[in-house]
Amino acid sequence: AVLGHEVGYCIRFDDCHDPKATRIKFLTDGMLVREMMRDPLLKKYSVIMLDEAHERTIHTDIAIGLLKKIMKKREDLHLIISSATLDAELFKSFFETNTTRDSSKDTAVIMSIEGRAYDVDIYYVKGPVPNYLTATVDTVLAIHRDQSEGDVLAFLTGQEEV
């Protein structure tokens, strides 16, 4: 797939998608709320997936509330909420529209997908560092140089650092 054609993205100051060709579009939660302001029923979309929903932000909370309203008006819209640590029952009850006791009429379901667990080594610095970005790069390079083959995941604070 060509980035910006079949698969695109939209973040605060960078929109890389083709309105006619893009089939999968990645958005931040803030950009999703902006989409909702432009298109209150999200008519261009057939599926919305909120990933890492446990990372609650004001935009995520607004999006969840608006999606509940949209779902009442658009039976054709599918909503997937994913999280490794979310209280799934709470979200199921929030989005459930079945008011009967007949579970065959439920409109919200919980699906659990087991993931693989990998051994993870966590490293911390012993004290404050003058430049956390330089210290991160130095640490990753040292791990690659001194440790056996494997992957490294480093958490940084924002897009500029990455």
Residue 54's pLDDT band (cuts 50, 70, 90): confident
Q: What average pLDDT does the structure give for the chain?
A: 90
What does the pLDDT read at residue 113?
83
Give the whole-angstrom CA distance, residue 93 versus residue 41: 22
Q: In what order do the strands lie in the sheet with 14-16?
A: 14-16, 7-11, 24-27
Q: Which of 27-36, 98-107, 146-155 has the lowest mean pLDDT?
A: 146-155
Has residue 122 got a pLDDT over 90? no
Residues 47 and 63: their CA atoms lie apart, in Å, by 14
CA 99, distance to chain mean position in Å, is 29
* CB of 8 closer than 8 Å to CB of 24: yes
6 touches 24 (CB < 8 A): yes
Per-residue pLDDT band for 121 (boundaries 50, 70, 90) equals confident
Contact indicator for 59, 33 with CB cutoff of 8 Å: yes
Extract long-range pairs of 35-42: CB within 8 Å, 24+ residues apart: 36/63, 36/66, 36/70, 40/70, 41/70, 41/73, 41/74, 42/70, 42/74, 42/77
Q: What is the pLDDT of residue 120?
A: 80
Identify the band that residue 115 occupies on the pLDDT scale cut at 50, 70 and 90: confident
